[in-house]
Structure formats: C-alpha cells, structure tokens
Amino acid sequence: MTDRPDVPPQAVAFFARFRVTIGFLLAVFVLWLAEPTRSSIAWGLPVVITGESIRIWAAGHLNKSREVTRSGPYRFIAHPLYLGSSILGAGLVIAARSVPVAAIITAYLGVTLTSAIKSEEAFLRRVFRDTYEEYRDTGVVDRERRFSVSRAIANREYRAVAGAVVVLLLLVWKATYNGMF
C-alpha cells in the first residue's frame, strides 16, 4: 500500500479486479437459494431490463481507459454502468424471491461496486488529472457524441446481457422445476 490517495488499497483493487469472477461464484449460491415464481420473475424482469438498458446506454458512450467520458448518461451521473448493475441486481432479487439472495446480491454489489468506483476514480485522477476533476466539479459534458452500438460491443456489454439472460432462464427453469411456474 502507498501513501498516495489516488492508489486504491489492495483489498479494493482485488474486489474491483475480480468482481465478475466473484459474481459467477456467488451466482451458484443465488440460484440454489432462489425461490422464483412466475409472478416474481414477471415483476423482476422489467427491472432487470431497465438496469441492462442503462448499462447498454452507458457502454455505447464509453471509451474505456482512453478518455473521461462526458456524454450520454455520463452527463447525469459519474458511474452509470454501476447504477445499471445495481438496478439489474435489484431485478434479480425480485425475480429470485429470497431474503438470503437479497443479502448476497446486496453485499456483493456494495463491496464490488464500491471497490470498482474507488479503483476507477483513482485511475482517472492519475491518468486524466485536471480533465477528470473538471468533469466531477463542473459537470462539463460532451453533447456531440452519439450512442454507438459498436462502442457498446467493444466494451463487451454483450457479456452482461448474456449473463442476465442466463440467470433469468435458470430462474425460470428453477421455478418450473419446483412447480412454481
């Protein structure tokens, strides 16, 4: 660890870097503990779609690690991908209909997204210094950039879409298998 404030502690770096792997491991427990029904999936699905839509919108404006993105949802919030992830997670909690699942997803998102935000902000401050501080302080935006599907694909947002679809299909399968569908 270092005394520089822009370098995240090792635990923060670990959770930020391995958040997807940790998510896959926790998904096993989430699916095991889930008690989905047709109704819970029907209520959770629009929330999942809303969260993923925000993620796609953000990914379609993001040039990861190459600039401070200031267009699209970044005009309104510094971390729209993580807002989308949080909403998506809430939709999965609703669809899973389980208090232990709610606890797991809430803890996972709280730890990993906080770590990712701290890690990314340290990177942006280190690499883009004044540009990032100006964006955070004044909200200077780029209204000229348009959403790009190719940019969303380059940011591999299709992985998040596939993951959400697979989890929802597994919840449907579990609800059907348990006679709840």
The band of 19, judged by pLDDT with boundaries at 50, 70 and 90, is confident
69-78, 80-89, 130-139, 165-174: the lowest-pLDDT one: 130-139
Which residues fall within 8 angstroms of residue 161, CB to CB, at 6 or more apart?
Answer: 52, 56
Best mean pLDDT range from 18-32, 40-54, 126-140? 40-54
Average pLDDT over residues 30-58: 97
Name the DSSP class of 146: P
User: Does the pLDDT at position 31 exceed 80?
Assistant: yes
What pTM did the predictor assign? 0.86
95-134 residue pLDDT tens: 999 999 999 999 999 999 999 998 888 888 899 888 888 8
Q: How far apart are CA 145 and CA 162, in angstroms?
A: 27
pLDDT of residue 131: 85
